[in-house]
Chain A
């Protein structure tokens, strides 16, 4: 059974801090790893990673995948209060297109 574990469970920082969120996984026939931001109900897509060592970047957010050690990190630099959300990591395998999610990391950015 595929498994995704995220850490930390929650994090409180101040505006301007840099945070690193972790995601480790166990997947049979790994295909991709995805990061989502969930502010209220609907998760919104951030990144999809399929290859090791290639950083994906969008503004202050970046992510990288290590397929040898089976983990990914999501970095947020110069955090803002609008970054407060639950960040979800998910994986897919070659058997299908459904996502297996981790439990999420709840980030709170204080002014």
Chain B
């Protein structure tokens, strides 16, 4: 597609429920990243996919967070048993071969856990 597409744009969920956030990267971009931005804060790295390599999961804050990328394209970030501290904007970015100046960010999913 023309840009990085994320859905839903907003999600309100009850504490304890599971949520799935979707990211559709730019066609041909081999690298895909997930970041989290809490209110008034910078972006926090979560996970990185590059081609068929094993993902870099070093930023995932707990085992309630997981992500997969199917067929080297669409990615889903899953948060199980959501907590209030999970409330944030979740941003996805893709780039061609992981080049940092080629990052294109999606518009994010604003997650609110009540």
Contacts and interface: CB of A to CB of B under 8 A. Distances in A.
Contacts of A103: 40-42
Given A40-B107, A41-B91, A42-B106, A104 B101 contact: no
Q: Is the interface of A mostly helix, strand, loop or mixed?
A: strand
The 6 closest A-B pairs by CB, nearest first: A101-B42, A97-B98, A48-B101, A41-B108, A42-B105, A101-B43
Contacts of B98: 97
Nearest to A2: B45
B45 A34 contact: no
Contact of A41 (B95, B103, B107): B107
Interface of B: 4, 31, 33, 35, 40-45, 48, 50, 56, 59, 89, 91, 95, 98-101, 103, 105-108, 110
12 contacts: A31-B100, A40-B107, A41-B105, A42-B108, A45-B101, A97-B98, A98-B33, A98-B56, A99-B43, A100-B45, A101-B44, A103-B42
Interface string A23-54: 00000000110100000111111001000000
Contacts of B110: 41
A97 B105 contact: no
A101 B91 CA distance: 13
Nearest to A91: B100
Contact of B48 (A88, A96, A100): A96
B51 to A, nearest CB: 12
Contacts of B95: 97
Nearest to B95: A97
B44 A32 contact: no
Contacts of A97: 31, 48, 50, 95, 98-100
Given A34-B100, A41-B107, A48-B101, A98 B48 contact: yes
Contacts of A96: 48, 56
B43 A43 contact: yes
B68 to A, nearest CB: 18
Contacts of B106: 42
Contacts of A88: 42-43
